[in-house]
Structure 1
Amino acid sequence: MRLRPLALLSTIAVSALLLAGCAGSASPSPTSTSDATSGDVCAQTAEPGAISDGVKVDGQFGTPSKATFTLKQDIKKLQRTVITKGDGATVKKGEFVSYALSAFNTTTGEHIGDAGYPGTEQMLPQNVLANPTLAQVIGCATVGSRLAVAFPTGSNGAESQIYIVDVLGTVPTAAWGEEQAPVDGMPEVKLAKNGEPSISIPKTDAPTELKVSVLKQGDGEAVADGDTTLLQYYGVNWADGKSFDSSWKNGEPISIPGNTYVPGFVQALAGQKVGSQVLVVIPPALGYGDKEQGSIPANSTLVFVIDILATQHAPAAK
């Protein structure tokens, strides 16, 4: 039996419900659904019930836990009880939240698995309002809170489960690393107050090789081969300086399982640390080559500013 995903669009590896992306595309789909929920996140929170109230937990916040509860209860709707209230900020609309969980079978009491804790399957931060289930579970909680959640039997036949969820923190939607000196010959980047970049192309010929410079140096985990990163990007064509795509314009950060972007984009991410902002100039051979891609002409040199917000390492081979 496998973990039920906390969010139906969770990137939790053990549930194998990874978001679909276009392999080889440098302009991927956002992490959430296009019909993301709206309104007051607190109004969407699931109410506590007798089942979630009856869960007893053994273990410290931030570590996998054990849970005991009355078995074989009929869970008719999702219930959420705050076991301990954290002293951090309240999770708000549009914020990306890091969380961890332990899951249990309500029929047998079996510990199904853990995710999001050190040494367990990693999960990328999620947009609270990107999915109704996630909003019901984590919405309006404070950072540092531990929650008991009772899931009813799913319409797809998934068995009812008990989750213990730790709300670990929120992730900024723009790079926060230390600013670095600009590199001569590279495009000039300016940032708006919210972190959204703009790019000015120098009046020189486009380079024929990949060029990468770090604009902000983060101090988080390094992106490894096969990772899935949560990132913001802003892309322009060197030839005319016009933006052809931007996660900022699309409304939120994005991720694609395995970072299956164009080769130059992937090379720019390799080894970079979470919290960093990276500027990359991609020659045609490492971009779309002699193929036209939407509004991008064939043989285009691409320029991206990439903010690396989080990374999820690929599961170890078994």
Structure 2
Amino acid sequence: MNRALRRGAPFALATAAALLLAGCASGGSTEASETPDATAAACMEVEAGALSDGVTVEGEFSESPTATFTTPLEAEELQRTVAIEGDGDATEAGQKINAVVTLFSGASGEQLLSQPAQLTVGDESVFDAFRAGVDCVPLGSRTVTVAPASALYDGQGNEQIGLAADEDVVIVVDVVEVQEPLKPGEWTENVPEVEFGAEGEAPTVTLPKVDAPTELQMKVLEEGDGDTVGEGDSVTVHYQGISWDSGEVFDQSYTRGEASTFTTDGVIQGFGAALVGQKVGTKLIVVIPPEYAYGTDPAAHDLGGQTLVFLVEIQDTAPAA
């Protein structure tokens, strides 16, 4: 499995969670507890240290924070400090958690990534550097993890987010809530006009000149009769993404000449939710508010704070490998 993106999800679709995956390895040196209890076994033994305690984090909870620390930061092991202890129940193995993940360069202190992510507690396919932020901490907590380069992307860095090889990191995670199933509402008013071109041509989507919808909504343009997409399944689609704010197409598979394949939980939350329950052969259009896309902070991502529209044609589905 690609250690940066799950199953080749395009970067313009990939949720932060897809950047956290280590494939079949945990990517870190921290060992899980050996107790027989399933929840305890998922808890990582990560202690606070001088480096993690020395990071000052500011900003509203569940939004893009800032972090101040001495650079260059040089870490020899994982350290985790609970900067804000929430008053909710402790997260448990198997729970899917809505979180906000923010990554900072240990060399420069620069923010490299900040966006919503959905993480599963105890998921060993996630790098320990990220997993430490959500494992067995109270809901409502803000955690600060300091990680050596070896605990993330095998020390090779990640070009897509600007992380250099052998660069240590600081990771701030806001543990917001247990994820409830997200289901788009029916889109009945101010639905964009869609014109499909000839084979090999990109379709045209014309947005109405009205304010962007504020809720996740979807309209099925043509219902397929193939297999049904399940949660976490691998899906192959053609798609076109448009920003309601600018009216511009920011990404699409049509011009690349081939469909894209990814898992429904390896893309932004609103996009994945639109696919689950649909059949192969379906054509649909979905509007995604910022909170289900790249977050509400325009400074945290190129598409942050923007309402997005996706035209999607589902071509195939299969259980995730």
Q: What TM-score does the superposition give when structure 1 sets the normalisation length? A: 0.47
Larger radius of gyration: 1
Q: What TM-score does the superposition give when structure 2 sets the normalisation length? A: 0.47
